[in-house]
Chain A
Amino acid sequence: MSGTPLLTIHDLTVSVGGKQILTGLNLAVATGEVHAIMGPNGSGKSTLAHVLAGRPGYEVTSGNIVYQGRDLLALAPEERARQGLFLGFQYPVEIPGVNNVYLLKAALNAQRKERGLPEVDAFEFLALVREKMKLMQIEDSFLSRGVNEGFSGGEKKRNEILQMLVLEPTLAVLDETDSGLDIDALKVVAAGVNSLRSPARSCLLVTHYQRLLEYVVPDFVHVLVRGRIARSGDRGLALELERRGYDWVSGAAA
């Protein structure tokens, strides 16, 4: 199952506002793999997602991250995105006045430019967006609205996945995309994620609950406790966590 190494995190420690959040994290993701990162609140799950995307304010104090053979931490956020790294935000930002379609198109063209491809054809682009919108059950009015402007929580999450489907990332990091979704929306989001699964793509699912993993079945499950991975396993680990609670792992890691 495992392909070539895509992402290797070695002994990563990260501070936010002087407080150490990640405390020596190791993780290896190969192409084609889906990894779930689980853990109790405050264990550092979202920090990991943000550090991967390059959000300012996260200070890497030691360790390194290699992505596609390159030093990821040396790349600006926009360069990481163009190299196929996608962050699905836990709290997608509303940007009134910047149109959804504009953002999708600008993002896609930035990536294509990086790969030496011409700008996407306007008609083909719109056809592509409409097709993905259908899959994500997003209404037509979306096309004329500002980015996430006035969207409900569920709509914002579906929009994240829509963006992911249009951009077809090599590595998707989904930060609690399942939080706040009802079961129908969760299924739609899961269908979106599954539609992108391929031997050429990898996915890091950051989640608090194993519920999403019933629909997007991961190859590996890791449990993050106090800033490092305390336990790894297959899907069975998520089920066991569900039964026994995080205290089971937290206690073992202490």
Chain B
Amino acid sequence: MSTLLADRIAAQHASTLAALPPQLAGGARRRAAMAALATAGLPGARDENWKYANLRPLERQSFTPAPLNPGAAAAAAPAELPQRLPGFARDVFRDGNFAPALSDPLEAGPARILPLAVFESGSPPAPAHAGRDQRFALLNAAFATDGASIAVPATAAGPARIELLFVASAAAEAGASYPRVELRLEPEARLTLIERHLGVSDGASFVASAVAAELDRGAALEHYRLQELGARAILFDSLSATLGADARYHLRAIGSGALAARSSIQVRLAGERAGLAFAAASLGDRQQLQDTYAAVEHLAPNTRTEETFRGIAAGRARIAFNGRMVVAREARGADSRQSLRGLLAGADAEIDVRPQLEIYTDEVSASHGATAGKLDEQMLFYLLARGLDRETAQRALKWAFLGDVVARIEPPQLRQQIETRLAAQMLGGSTFREFL
């Protein structure tokens, strides 16, 4: 990180603290995160794992959080928000701050949801094991003014269901948005979480979000991440999760918004038999950039990973997925599978899918496949030979390509919303229902 950028971040951090109410300003988290950030710096273009990310906006970005503006939050038309999903509690955050008027906590089941602002001083600093690629999580921890802290105890009453909506409304000039989620699943606890990032306008928001999740023994988390930010938004997103023994983490991420989005994911399978099933889809058109870096560490015996990525780049979009799998010496009997596929749907589009395997034990079962290319000519001809016009055939095949990810979205209404959005974006408004 350039000294100039570091100095600017430090100065803006100091003024942020001065402007906050005293009970928020004194938090240990902020100061620890800022100190760590000052040491580690933000990634630069020469960092191998950041070569696709667009870091240029950082040079001119104001990191001061967008102002708390309860009036604006109340004024946002609920109509702009996605339809409520039955059975899910909803908490809405506007530019990173809880918006009670738009929220409907209802029945979150057994989960306790607390706005972080209430007890910020009690929340832990960024975890010590966070890797260098989680540095934007430090930025978030240093500046976030609010967020959701969710704790889920075990219960026989079925999973807790929570939808978190992070609405970016402020333009970048007005300040940055720092959505933040801290999750803790107690032993055997179950949670279905929808984390959705969207923009109410096509404003050029700057968003640096962070999610930290701890899954204790036997806990199960089904986590949907939908990135639907406005067309000019910039997003740096960090997700870190640690799984205890027998914990199961189902992570499904679909990114279709923003001008440039970078997602940095770190999952640690720390307990025996912990399992991660990660399915992600990125869609890019025009000048969009969708860049994902996912590092999965197998740290205990018999841990499992199944990773699926599907990316479609049209127009002049660039899509990258870098899937790093580390199997430590202790992780005997680990099973790691990757299927990464990219589809080029535009002559000037770019796709880079990269599996990386680092294995330090012999007792491991690992497979990975990565392909990037155009639509399969044989499939296309088969459909044409049945009389489908070329455009319909191509749409059907693109839709099918995403099926490996979309089919894993279980709440029916959520899947329907996602399908509708994806269809609007990539099928030019034609109905996808006919493909089903």
Of A55, A82, A95, A146, which one neighbours B383 at CB under 8 angstroms? A95
Query: Taking the complex as formed, is B128 at the interface, i.e. its CB lies under 8 A from any CB of chain A?
Result: no
Cβ of A102 and Cβ of B396 under 8 Å apart? yes
Docked complex Cα distance between A78 and B380 (Å): 11
Contacts of A56 in B (CB 8 A): 377, 381
Contacts of A97 in B (CB 8 A): 399-404
Of B385, B396, B402, B436, which one neighbours A77 at CB under 8 angstroms? B385
Docked complex Cα distance between A93 and B389 (Å): 18
A129 to chain B minimum Cβ distance, whole angstroms, is 14
A95 to chain B minimum Cβ distance, whole angstroms, is 5
A110 and B396 in contact, given A56-B377, A95-B382, A97-B404 (Cβ under 8 angstroms): no
Docked complex Cα distance between A107 and B388 (Å): 6
A87 to chain B minimum Cβ distance, whole angstroms, is 5
Query: Taking the complex as formed, is B387 at the interface, i.e. its CB lies under 8 A from any CB of chain A?
Result: yes
A100 to chain B minimum Cβ distance, whole angstroms, is 11
Contacts of B389 in A (CB 8 A): 78, 110
Query: Taking the complex as formed, is A120 at the interface, i.e. its CB lies under 8 A from any CB of chain B?
Result: no
Cβ of B435 and Cβ of A102 under 8 Å apart? yes
Q: Quick one: closest A residue to B407, CB to CB?
A: A97
B422 to chain A minimum Cβ distance, whole angstroms, is 13
Query: Taking the complex as formed, is A177 at the interface, i.e. its CB lies under 8 A from any CB of chain B?
Result: no
Contacts of B387 in A (CB 8 A): 78, 81-82, 106-107, 110-111, 114, 167
Cβ of A99 and Cβ of B435 under 8 Å apart? yes
State the interface size on chain A (CB cutoff 8 A): 31
Query: Taking the complex as formed, is A163 at the interface, i.e. its CB lies under 8 A from any CB of chain B?
Result: yes
A149 to chain B minimum Cβ distance, whole angstroms, is 10
A89 and B403 in contact, given A102-B434, A107-B387 (Cβ under 8 angstroms): no
Query: Taking the complex as formed, is A253 at the interface, i.e. its CB lies under 8 A from any CB of chain B?
Result: no
Cβ of B382 and Cβ of A107 under 8 Å apart? no
Cβ of B382 and Cβ of A110 under 8 Å apart? no
Query: Taking the complex as formed, is B3 at the interface, i.e. its CB lies under 8 A from any CB of chain A?
Result: no
Cβ of B386 and Cβ of A103 under 8 Å apart? yes
Query: Taking the complex as formed, is B364 at the interface, i.e. its CB lies under 8 A from any CB of chain A?
Result: no
Cβ of A87 and Cβ of B385 under 8 Å apart? yes
Cβ of B392 and Cβ of A81 under 8 Å apart? no
A234 to chain B minimum Cβ distance, whole angstroms, is 30
Of B384, B386, B402, which one neighbours A163 at CB under 8 angstroms? B386
Cβ of B379 and Cβ of A95 under 8 Å apart? yes
Docked complex Cα distance between A161 and B177 (Å): 58
Query: Taking the complex as formed, is A30 at the interface, i.e. its CB lies under 8 A from any CB of chain B?
Result: no
A107 and B386 in contact, given A56-B381, A102-B436 (Cβ under 8 angstroms): yes
Q: Quick one: closest B residue to A109, CB to CB?
A: B387
Query: Taking the complex as formed, is A92 at the interface, i.e. its CB lies under 8 A from any CB of chain B?
Result: yes
Which A residues, 132 to 172, have Cβ-Cβ distances below 8 Å to chain B? Answer: 146-147, 163, 167
Of A78, A93, A106, which one neighbours B379 at CB under 8 angstroms? A93
Contacts of B392 in A (CB 8 A): 106
Docked complex Cα distance between A87 and B435 (Å): 22
Q: Quick one: closest A residue to B382, CB to CB?
A: A93
Which A residues, 75 to 134, have Cβ-Cβ distances below 8 Å to chain B? Answer: 76-78, 80-82, 87, 89, 92-93, 95-99, 102-103, 105-107, 110-111, 114
Query: Taking the complex as formed, is B277 at the interface, i.e. its CB lies under 8 A from any CB of chain A?
Result: no
- Residues 375-419 of chain B, each 1 if its beta carbon lies under 8 Å from chain A, else 0: 001110111111111101100110111111000000000000000
A37 to chain B minimum Cβ distance, whole angstroms, is 18
A99 and B436 in contact, given A55-B381, A56-B381, A146-B400 (Cβ under 8 angstroms): yes
Cβ of B382 and Cβ of A106 under 8 Å apart? no
Cβ of A98 and Cβ of B397 under 8 Å apart? yes
Q: Quick one: closest A residue to B398, CB to CB?
A: A97
Of B383, B390, B403, which one neighbours A103 at CB under 8 angstroms? B383
Q: Quick one: closest B residue to A97, CB to CB?
A: B400
Cβ of A78 and Cβ of B384 under 8 Å apart? yes
Contacts of B385 in A (CB 8 A): 53-55, 77-78, 80-81, 87, 89
Docked complex Cα distance between A92 and B382 (Å): 8
Docked complex Cα distance between A224 and B397 (Å): 36
Q: Quick one: closest A residue to B402, CB to CB?
A: A97
Q: Quick one: closest B residue to A91, CB to CB?
A: B378
Cβ of B396 and Cβ of A98 under 8 Å apart? yes
Cβ of A93 and Cβ of B396 under 8 Å apart? no
Contacts of A102 in B (CB 8 A): 396, 434-436
B330 to chain A minimum Cβ distance, whole angstroms, is 37
* 14 examples of A-B residue contacts, CB within 8 angstroms: A53-B385, A54-B384, A76-B390, A78-B388, A78-B389, A81-B384, A89-B382, A95-B397, A98-B435, A99-B435, A102-B434, A106-B388, A107-B386, A146-B400
Q: Beyond the given A56-B381, A98-B379, A102-B434, please list 10 additional residue pairs across the A-B interface where CB-CB is below 8 A.
A: A54-B384, A76-B390, A77-B385, A78-B384, A93-B379, A98-B383, A102-B435, A106-B388, A107-B386, A146-B400
